[in-house]
Amino acid sequence: MEKEIKYHLQKSESKFLKGPRSRFKELSFSFKVLYQFVRGFRKMHFIGPCVTVYGSARFRPDSDHYKSAEKIGADLAKLGFSIMTGGGPGIMEAANKGA
């Protein structure tokens, strides 16, 4: 006997399942997306040189990898780089802490 799974869509999600929208609405949506890209890239432009760090959330502060990421983050910051991470725990947290 299979268990029935119910999904609850939010109003903003359900509009994509209603089928094709008018060309004007599609064009309007495209401009909104383009606007968000332009805003994001403009903000990134003024940050300067930046290094992105992604890593596992499973490393604890007592781990050698965590300590290395913290040191690397500090060294990169001393060289003038901005550090960008997903902000999660583990390696990303260590790089932010070091910076």
Domain-located, residue 17:
no
Residue 77 within any structural domain of the chain = yes
Task: Report the predicted TM-score, pTM, of the whole model to 2 decimal places.
Answer: 0.60
Quick check: is 96 in a domain? yes
Rounded CA-CA distance 17/90 in Å is: 38
- Report how far residue 87's alpha carbon sits from residue 93's, in angstroms, rounded to the nearest whole number: 6
Whether 71 is in a domain gets the answer yes
Percent of the chain with pLDDT over 90: 55
Residue-averaged pLDDT of the chain: 88
Q: Is residue 88 part of a domain?
A: yes
37-63: per-residue pLDDT in tens? Answer: 999 889 888 888 999 999 899 999 999
8 lies in some domain: no
Number of Cβ atoms within 10 Å of the Cβ of 24: 8
Tell me the residue range of the domain where 58 lies. Answer: 47-99
Choose the weakest-confidence range: 11-15, 26-30, 80-84: 11-15
- Residue 61 sits at the vertex; the CA angle it makes with 57 and 62, to the nearest 5 degrees, is 125
Q: Note whether residue 66 is domain-resident.
A: yes
In the chain, the amino acid numbered 93 is E
Q: Report the number of distinct structural domains present in the chain.
A: 1
Per-residue pLDDT band at 9 (split at 50, 70, 90): confident
Q: Is residue 15 part of a domain?
A: no
pLDDT of residue 73: 95
**Calpha distance 87→95 (Å, rounded):** 9
